[in-house]
Amino acid sequence: MKPYLAAALQMTSVPDLGKNLAQAEELIDLAARRGVELITLPENFSFLGDEEAKFERAEEICQASQKFIKTMAQRYRVTLLGGGYPVPSPDGRTYNTALMVDANGEELLRYEKVHLFDVNLPDGNTYQESASVTSGSDMPKVWKSDRLGSIGISVCYDVRFPELYRQLSKSGAEVMIVPAAFTAFTGKDHWQILLQARAIENTCYIIAPAQTGFHNARRQSHGHAMIVDPWGIALADAGDDVGMAIAEIKPSRLEQVRRQMPSLQHRVFG
């Protein structure tokens, strides 16, 4: 790995595919102009706010999302991750899928979200992701590169399950990406803490693109797209507005932390 800039983009996606892709391209353009080599888009970047409409238009959103990710990576000559977005599954539902491609538009990583967000929150909102989404069955893979390091991916609710990140770490991950649409209610208490915990316990970088603001009358996301270093320090935080968090990924910092705190070498169970 060599030092490079990474960006965690922050969007307010709505139930309008064209509007969302236009917003995403504007942010990708801004990041690329700043010299960013690894750009990450949040969960539901292409459509958010109406689950029934997203399900009904899943094939259209899927095709548009995948084409967009590959086209943008090629146009701006960057490595680009987008997800999740809906991909029709054999049981009539969809997979919440994250996709990472290189600057030639070639697929590097594909992951179908395993942990589904089925919760009743104290603020009165109920989320039943499994109603329209099929849980993935495979652990996310790690892509290894001389330029960008070893990268693992996950999606949103996965961040509450440390065993997934430990498996990525055991597979050699140095950078972990957590695209999310974290709710405003849970995000204020848990978002940053969870990201820092995953970074600290695996001594790795965490890149977490996010959704922010209101997507419809009821659904609101926390924001605060973030990049966290292997010591758990938040290097960049996008706050509450549409924008991005940009930070340098440094192999020297990774090596320093892993040398000073060699906890990965001290594992006893797993």
Residues that are catalytic: 43, 113, 156
DSSP string, 27-67: HHHHHHHTT-SEEEPPTTTT--S-HHHHHHTHHHHHHHHHH
Q: How far apart are CA 184 and CA 182, in angstroms?
A: 6
Q: How far apart are CA 40 and CA 24, in angstroms?
A: 10
Q: How far apart are CA 158 and CA 240, in angstroms?
A: 22
| C-beta separation of 78 from 174 below 8 A | no
CB atoms near residue 63 (< 10 Å)? 12
Nearest 10 degrees: CA dihedral of 192, 31, 84, 14?
90
Going through 90-242 in order, the beta strands assigned E by DSSP cover 94-101, 107-112, 118-120, 126-128, 142-145, 149-153, 175-177, 205-208, 210-214, 220-222, 226-228, 234-237
Q: DSSP label at 135?
A: P
Neighbour-count burial of 190, counting CB atoms closer than 10 A to its CB (0-12 exposed, 13-18 middle, 19+ buried): middle
177 forms bridges with which residues in the sheet? Answer: 153, 207
Diameter over CA atoms, the chain: 51
